[in-house]
Amino acid sequence: MTACPPVVLSIAGHDPTGGAGIQADIETIVYHGCHACSVITALTTQNTRNVKRVCCQEPEALIEQLRAVIQDIKVDAIKIGFLGSAEIVAALLPLLSEYNRIPLIADPVFAAGGGAQLANDELIQAIKSEIVPRALIVTPNSHEARALDSMGSNLDECAGALINLGCRFVLIKGSHEKTELIVNRLYSASGLIKKSQWPRLPHTYHGSGCTLAASIAANVALGKEIPVSVEEAQEFTWSTLEAGYPPGHGQWFPRRNTVQNES
């Protein structure tokens, strides 16, 4: 059997616990039957409680690693997670422009579940002005959506502003809202196209956003349209969380290895 599975290239940070970041992406991508290529933006010191330190990779080395992969392997989707610094975003731009035919799934990461800030204003602005316009879909949680559009008075307006910047779809995750159910909203240029509600589970989870965005990226690489990719990725992520486990003293992890995708 020599057929090559669809390839997802993940550009994200390393979380040594394995719950979030590039490992979450790789586990999710492989679960979906795709091949994962991975380029690491930053090493972090963290555990299940919080992030203590971030060590960004040299932008030049990062781009060299990306080019080596992308000039050799046919990549079907690119998934972007934690970017580390505005300098890394600036360095990525020529490559993203050159390979703009590859669908880009961008998951903004501004804070760790334990509260540590993972993005300064410069990085947030760089993601807004340079990554959002290039993305097929952006998947912020409600806090990240408000940070990306500080003018928006509600989440519908924030989504509209991001679509106006040039991305085709926005999925705003409602997990950080004080609502009984978690409400995720998918938007396109036509406005809100799908609202999904999920029961709120009793724990907080590390890597749920990474899992969801990587699952969307894998579905896109498999040739699925965004509404289907998002629907199936939410089902998959929900089932990993429902079967989650507490490996340490803090947040729970999604169970990505054995869970059955019901979609």
- Is the backbone of residue 237 left (phi > 0), alpha (psi -120 to 50) or beta? alpha
Query: In angstroms, what CA-CA distances link 205 with 121, 208, 237, 251?
Result: 25, 6, 11, 5
Q: Give the separation between CA 183 and CA 172, rounded to whole angstroms.
A: 9
Question: Which of 12, 172 has the CB closer to ligand PLP?
Answer: 12
Residue nearest to ligand PLP (CB): 13
Q: Closest distance between ligand PLP and the C-beta of residue 87, in Å?
A: 17
Residues at the interface with ligand PLP (CB under 6 A): 12-13, 15, 20-21, 44, 46, 51, 81-82, 109, 112-113, 206-210
Q: Looking at residue 202, what DSSP letter applies?
A: S
Q: Which residues contact 223 (CB under 8 A, 6 or more apart)?
A: 6
Q: Closest distance between ligand PLP and the C-beta of residue 182, in Å?
A: 14
Q: Closest distance between ligand PLP and the C-beta of residue 262, in Å?
A: 21
Question: Which of 81, 160 has the CB closer to ligand PLP?
Answer: 81
Sheet holding 35-46, edge to edge: 51-56, 35-46, 7-14, 77-80, 104-106, 137-138, 169-172, 181-188, 191-199
Q: Closest distance between ligand PLP and the C-beta of residue 3, in Å?
A: 31
Q: Closest distance between ligand PLP and the C-beta of residue 49, in Å?
A: 10
Question: Which of 151, 245 has the CB closer to ligand PLP?
Answer: 245
Query: In angstroms, what CA-CA distances link 88 with 40, 190, 259?
Result: 11, 32, 34
Question: Which of 44, 240 has the CB closer to ligand PLP?
Answer: 44
Token duo for residue 192:
């809100």
Q: Give the separation between CA 50 and CA 43, rounded to whole angstroms.
A: 14
Q: Give the separation between CA 253 and CA 77, rounded to whole angstroms.
A: 25
Q: Closest distance between ligand PLP and the C-beta of residue 252, in Å?
A: 11
Question: Which of 207, 244 has the CB closer to ligand PLP?
Answer: 207
Kindly tell me the burial class for residue 193, based on how many C-beta atoms sit within 10 Å of its own C-beta (0-12, 13-18, 19 or more): middle
Question: Which of 160, 211 has the CB closer to ligand PLP?
Answer: 211
Question: Which of 209, 244 has the CB closer to ligand PLP?
Answer: 209
Q: Closest distance between ligand PLP and the C-beta of residue 157, in Å?
A: 23
Token duo for residue 144:
């990240």
